[in-house]
């Protein structure tokens, strides 16, 4: 087991509805030391890949992306969530269905902060069905930028997102892949 898997076993809570609660270290209270270890691990896994920007999505991705960015020496841009369609021509927008909140948000990134020269590493906390990632990829494509890779903290491997994203050919590095979890017993199985 790696450091993140160990932490999930120690402090993660399995909830009904395929939700893994990790708010004591990843989603509410933030363990910055752990984020630093995660950043170092992604830097190792993406060694030799040209990356000049990190893109994440508010809110939970921001802290992780900022600490990881110290290992890549690049700026972080986060996609903002808005309730209404933004018709301002200066924004890239994509519609994203929220797994946890079950609503749809338009996520937006200003055209000022993403362009065709950017080689973007996407960072996020969870990968479930892949909607958040597909929204971010669509924004990167709209900008004419390229996706250099994707770093996820926790992938729920029993949901479809990971397979969809890998089948599209992206280099996806999830630090922990949960292949099964049981809300009754609290047991969590990781992929080897
Ligand atoms: P997806 O778009 O891949 O379906 O879901 C990813 C987003 O939903 C993540 O950014 C994360 O915020 C949230 N999410 C999905 N599954 C979980 C989960 O089991 N626990 C938590 N805390 N967040 C989740």
Angstrom distance (rounded) from CA 14 to CA 185: 9
CA 128 to ligand 1 center in whole angstroms: 6
Q: Is the pLDDT of residue 109 over 90?
A: yes
- Classify residue 26 by its DSSP letter: I
Which of 149, 168, 139, 4 minimizes the C-alpha distance to 81?
Answer: 139
Give, using CA atoms, the residue closest to atom 22 of ligand 1: 21
Domain ranges of the chain: 3-190
The residues with which 75 forms a beta bridge, in sequence order, are none
Specify the 3-state DSSP secondary structure of 100: coil
Q: Is the beta carbon of 99 within 6 A of some atom in ligand 1? A: yes
- Percentage of the chain beyond pLDDT 90 is 91
Q: What is the CA radius of gyration of the chain?
A: 16
Helix (H) or strand (E) holding 177: strand 172-181
- Annotated binding residue at 79? no
Report the phi/psi class of residue 48: left, alpha or beta, with left for phi > 0 and alpha for psi in -120 to 50.
left
Q: CB of 64 within 8 A of CB of 26?
A: yes
Respond yes or no on whether the N-terminal peptide bond of residue 13 is cis (omega within 30° of 0).
Answer: no
Q: CB of 153 within 8 A of CB of 8?
A: no
* Other Cβ atoms within 10 Å of 53 Cβ, number: 22
Helix (H) or strand (E) holding 9: helix 3-11
Annotation: CATH topology of 3-190: Rossmann fold (3.40.50)
Q: What is the pLDDT of residues 3-50, one digit of tens each?
A: 999 999 999 999 999 999 999 999 999 999 999 999 999 999 999 999
- Classify residue 131 by its DSSP letter: H
- Annotated binding residue at 43? no
C-alpha distances (whole Å) from 149 to each of 1, 43, 67, 107 are 24, 11, 17, 20
pLDDT for position 33:
98
- Percentage of the chain beyond pLDDT 70 is 96
pLDDT for position 84:
57
């Amino acid at each position: 087991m790696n450091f993140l898997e160990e932490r999930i076993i120690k402090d993660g809570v399995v909830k009904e509805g395929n939700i893994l609660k990790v708010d004591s270290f990843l989603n509410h209270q933030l363990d910055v030391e752990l984020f630093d270890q995660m950043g170092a691990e992604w830097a190792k896994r993406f060694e030799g890949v040209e990356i000049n920007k990190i893109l994440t999505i508010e809110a939970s991705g921001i802290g992780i992306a900022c600490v990881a960015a110290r290992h890549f020496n690049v700026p972080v841009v986060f996609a903002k969530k808005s309730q209404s369609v933004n018709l301002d021509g200066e924004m890239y927008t994509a519609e994203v269905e929220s797994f946890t909140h079950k609503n749809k948000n338009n996520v937006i990134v200003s055209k000022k902060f993403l362009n065709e020269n950017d080689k973007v590493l996407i960072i996020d906390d969870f990968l479930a069905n892949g909607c958040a990632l597909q929204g971010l990829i669509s924004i990167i494509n709209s900008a004419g930028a390229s996706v250099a890779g994707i770093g996820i903290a926790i992938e729920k491997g029993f949901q479809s997102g990971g397979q969809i994203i890998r089948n599209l050919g992206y280099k996806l590095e999830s630090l922990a892949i949960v292949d099964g979890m049981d809300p009754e017993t609290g047991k969590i199985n990781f992929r080897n």
